[in-house]
Structure 1
Amino acid sequence: MLLHGGKAQEPSRITTRASELIEDFKASRDQLAIHASREVVQLWCPPPGTLFKLNFDAAVFMDTESSGFGAVIRNSMGEVMAALSAKGPLVANSEEAEILACRKALEFAVEAGFQDVVVEGDNATVMNGLTADKPVNSWLGYIYEDARCLAMRLRSVSASCVRRSANGVAHSLAKFARQLSDDYVWLEEQPTPAIEALYADSFATA
């Protein structure tokens, strides 16, 4: 007889229980391995041909009651044609921040003279609203409409939702806006706040 938990236990029962715990551990470990293997890391992909890709993102700064917008326009070789970091207003939620960033990014692309653009963001709600056939029936509807009107000023435009891992440069520029008071623009140069993210994306064009 052996003591376990203050009670006498048969050795055979302890051995059986130990085997059960080992099997439970193996099952849990295998389940975790399967879950990890299903997590897909999406890489930024350059646009085809003569198109330009516009990535945008937003960040919310609760401590300063403000937001930040980031946008980057790159060609088929992954070269930065233009980039923007801008401070935004206090927002109610992430959707408002993202659609404001989208509108700002499209305005930036139009004013910079780009005509054929692929737009990418990592907020599914915003990207679905931007490409929907019907008006967005919410208090943010007018901002969606503004963004659509700006998109119509482009010669050709398409839009899709990507994972955050494929939107790293825009995300870095959005976070950089925390320390800004005015818009900061880079033209045909790599934006310093996003160097690491640009390096990660470079594998897509290697």
Structure 2
Amino acid sequence: MGIGVVIRNHLGLVLAASRWFIHHVDNPELGEAIAMCHALIFAEDSGFQKILVETDCASLINKIKSKVDDMSHTGAVVFNIKSRAPRFLSCCFTHVSRYCNEAAHVLAKSAEHDEGSCWFNVSPEVIRNIVCTEQF
């Protein structure tokens, strides 16, 4: 399963991007949770202080916003996400449509056998057209 992370500013310009391939994960919600955890680590390591984390997985957003401990197969990763969020000055989680998440989705699909790539202040070639034509 591929992970794609695209960090943009308020104007929609790409500040950073990352992709990674993870082995032996075939559950979409678990994969999305792992991707979100990776996004938080990447954002923190890159020095971002105020972040808005978007995903097209509504069930994951519900689990992150819930006050109840998640006892599902994604529970440990959800706990990790919740424990990382306070490290930022501001960290909000929101659900978006797949259409709004297309750049990250395409970047994730391109991650097969990629042990980790990242870009700063430039869009990866594979998503450049998407980023340039998206309405932000």
Under a length normalisation based on structure 2, what TM-score does the superposition of the two structures give?
0.94
The alignment status of 1:71 with 2:27, answered yes or no, reads no
Query: 1:76 & 1:146 partners in 2: Cα distance?
Result: 26
* Misfit runs of 4+, over 6 Å: none
Matches for 1:145-184 after TM superposition, within 5 Å: 145-180=79-114, 182-184=115-117
1:124 pairs with one of 58, 62, 82 = 58
Q: CA deviation at 1:117?
A: 0.6
1:107 pairs with one of 34, 41, 52 = 41
1:114-172, Cα deviation, whole Å (9 max, x unpaired): 11111100011111111212221213211111111111211111111110000011011
Q: Quick check: 2:54–2:96 contact (8 Å CA) kept in 1?
A: yes
Q: Quick check: 1:110–1:150 contact (8 Å CA) kept in 2?
A: no
Q: CA deviation at 1:199?
A: 2.1
Query: 1:130 & 1:113 partners in 2: Cα distance?
Result: 23
1:139 pairs with one of 73, 92, 98 = 73
The alignment status of 1:199 with 2:132, answered yes or no, reads yes
Higher relative contact order, chain-length normalized (CA < 8 Å, sep 6+): 2
Please give the secondary structure, in 2, of the residue aligned with 1:150: helix
Name the aligned partner's letter for residue 199 of structure 1: C
Query: 1:139 & 1:179 partners in 2: Cα distance?
Result: 25
Q: Quick check: 2:30–2:73 contact (8 Å CA) kept in 1?
A: no
Under a length normalisation based on structure 1, what TM-score does the superposition of the two structures give?
0.63
Bigger radius of gyration among the two = 1
Structure 2: give runs of 5+ residues left out of the alignment.
Answer: none
Q: CA deviation at 1:179?
A: 4.0
Q: Quick check: 1:68–1:175 contact (8 Å CA) kept in 2?
A: yes
Structure 1: give runs of 5+ residues left out of the alignment.
Answer: 1-66
Give the equivalent residue in structure 2 for 1:15: none
% identity of equivalent residues: 32
User: How many residue pairs get matched?
Assistant: 136
